[in-house]
Amino acid sequence: MMAVAAHTYHRPVLVLEVLQALNVKPGSRYIDCTVGEGGHARALLEAAPGGKLLGLDADPHAVSAARGQLQKHARSLVLVNANFSHLEETARERSFVPADGILMDLGLSSLQLEAVGRGFSFQRDEPLDMRYSPDQPVTAADLVNDTSVEELTRIISTYGEEPRARRIARALAEARPLNSSAELARVVSAASGYRRGRTHPATRTFQALRIAVNRELESLESALSQVPSVLASGGRLVVISYHSLEDRLVKEFVRREATDCLCPPSMAACRCGHRATLRPITKKVVRPSSRELSENPRSRSAKLRVAERL
């Protein structure tokens, strides 16, 4: 069973910016697709008296933590242990379609990072798991120990944007079997040739494995594709991403859904029949203020984008 370290409460990022971007109003209905420990959810419910919120999370421990943190809002809150790739199905089952706003905060929470026994952190020696949900079939240990050097290279290069991916993948294969996060961190650090600085040498590899284990980009693409069917006209989508892969997907999705035709320019007339469903509200990403950065260093990589349902 997972043990939780002390002081694991996750401090939500860009809270005021999220409330402004969602154009929060009393009595409205919102969906927090990654409810975590409920930081953004609390702010939303407090800013929208009489409103309702549906909170989803793939991590059952996060849902349990959110339920404890949000007890005073229990009558306005529906919490579901579900991956946001099931957004539309879950929202319809709970009568949250159409919704007035959808929030996706894609970051790894403090609960997950600091929870003992899940292998998300290279600061401790614990099993190589990295799954958000225990129902997921593949662990980080499975990937590290059973995947070919070529596939490991692809995962670390693509999802970690690690320029020394092949060197690291070969070192991992030679060191098999690897069973703990500390073992993995040592092998990656030695193979990478990076010096210890502000960023740990294993950061990109851990990110890559976590993304691959949880199929994070596939889940994000699936969830985004369902947004137009869930949002009310005038409703807002707000996404907070933390690395370029996520942000690129969000940016491209909004660009595509803000376009009336997806046919190639060479076609004289539209054959796809696609019609715009969203309009971008933010031309550039919104970043944390200098004050927030000083008070919450973990917010430094956060990027917020906003779109509105037509």
> Please, what is the average pLDDT of the chain?
93
Summarised one tens digit per residue, pLDDT across range 190-202 is: 999 987 777 899 9
DSSP letter for each residue of 249-292: HHHHHHHHHT-S--S-TT-SS--S-----EEES-SS-B---HHH
Per the model's pLDDT, the better-predicted residue between 107 and 261 turns out to be 261
Containing H/E element for 64?
Answer: helix 60-69
Task: Evaluate whether 62 touches 36 at the Cβ level (below 8 Å).
Answer: yes
| pLDDT at 74 exceeding the cut of 80 | yes
Task: Please give the DSSP secondary-structure letter assigned to residue 86.
Answer: G
Q: Say what the pTM is.
A: 0.93
| Average pLDDT, integer, range 12-16 | 96
Confidence of residue 123 (pLDDT cuts 50, 70, 90): confident
Query: 3-state DSSP call for residue 85?
Result: helix
Query: 3-state DSSP call for residue 103?
Result: strand
CATH numbers and ranges of domains, the chain: 3-111+218-309 (3.40.50.150), 118-214 (1.10.150.170)
Q: At what angle do helices 60-69 and 39-47 cross, to 10 degrees?
A: 40
Q: Note the pLDDT of residue 269.
A: 85
In whole angstroms, how far apart are CA 31 and each of 91, 100, 192? 8, 8, 41
Percent of residues, the chain, with pLDDT higher than 70: 95
Q: Which residues pair with 13 in a beta bridge?
A: none
Confidence of residue 147 (pLDDT cuts 50, 70, 90): very high
SS3 breakdown of the chain: % helix, strand, coil, rounded to 5?
Answer: 45, 15, 40
Q: Note the pLDDT of residue 198.
A: 74
